[in-house]
Amino acid sequence: MDPGELPTAPEEFYRTLVENAAEGMLTIDAESRIVYANPAIEEILGYQPEELIGSSKMQIIPERLQSVHAEALAAYVETGERHIDWNGMELPALHKDGHEVPTLISLREHEYGGEQYFTGIIRDVSDRREREAELQAQKERLDQFADILAHDIRNPLSVAAGYTEIARDEYDAPELERVADALGRIEGLIDDVLVLSKQGQQIGETERVSLNAAVREAWDSTAADGATLEVEGRLGSVDADRSRFRELLTNLFGNAVEHGSTGSQTGSDDAVEHAAPDTTVTVGPLPDGFYVADDGPGVPEEIRENVFEHGYSTRESGTGFGLSIVRQIAEAHGWEISLTESEAGGARFEIRTGD
């Protein structure tokens, strides 16, 4: 025997493998008669193999779906055209005691003795369905909690912000400026928490959005006093959820202003807390998207991937959510985002939309 050549296994070997498989296996003929069932079927559907062999597959199909199954098999036998995913489809099966079992079924066609047969590999996915339902319930509770928390925090926050503005009108105190900034950060944190609590709902309906218009709208809503926005070239348009796309841009601009100012390179707490009014943020086109760059200190290459993680921030007062939200929104649109170095040595975020 040549090295690497395997001996032909006896038929009993393969039968043993099938009969000891964890997945259920059923084989039917072209008339939907069950000609084979392995022992695992009993654990999934409650029938011993011999109770099924010779009967119609309709015995394990809920009544409301029997006509659909019969028509699908007949159509395939006649035309050879597949209208379902044979590699895995979720279908309910009828247990011996009458309840429905959610299953994942993979189908294979084969011929034996000139006859056509179909074998289904059946997996019980009840546990997975239960976990999915539990996760959905947890998510709904988290959404509700986040909405309530945001509402309850915003009320006293607006009162504090109002009195702070009154005090700033009467007193020229730098401490009041810091209080106003802190209240603004709390407001931003509330928005971030609401976004993070709604993961999986990042975008709604999309439409063709002008990049130039979206950039201007986002910049107008960014706390960027003294910073400069430059738009290079013709940006074109993208298919996007307008409001979430604006949020993506606003977070990128806010990150550039907070982290990108040359004044923040001094290392003092004050410089980090209050970005200097000398940042230039540039938005320009790419062949398949656009970029947002700044002229600040940039991000060291070894931590560039980290900045997209939840809670990661290079500022002591930062929430670490802004760029995580940016990536979530980009990926929800099917876009790719990467971080590199700008021509000025700052940060450059490249968003490739495929447009």
pLDDT in tens, 190-227: 776 676 666 545 677 889 999 999 999 888 877 666 78
The highest-level CATH class for domain 126-201 is mainly alpha
Given this chain, do its domains 11-124 and 126-201 carry the same CATH topology?
no
The structure tokens 């809670």 sit at: 311
In the numeric block, which tokens belong to residue 154? 């915003």
**Which CATH number does the domain 202-355 belong to among 3.40.630.30, 3.40.47.10, 3.40.50.720, 3.30.565.10?**
3.30.565.10
| H-run or E-run covering 321 | none
| Per-state percent for the chain, helix, strand, coil, to nearest 5 | 45, 20, 30
**d(C-alpha 65, C-alpha 99), whole Å:** 14
**d(C-alpha 212, C-alpha 215), whole Å:** 5
Q: What is the CATH number of domain 11-124?
A: 3.30.450.20
Per-residue pLDDT tens over the stretch 42-94 = 999 999 999 999 999 999 999 999 888 888 888 888 888 887 778 888 889 99
311-321 average pLDDT score: 48
Cβ pair 239, 207 in contact under 8 A = yes
Domain boundaries, the chain: 11-124, 126-201, 202-355
Per-residue pLDDT tens over the stretch 130-170 = 888 888 887 777 777 777 777 778 778 888 888 888 998 88
CB proximity list for 80: less than 8 A, separation 6 or greater:
none
* Average pLDDT value for the chain: 81
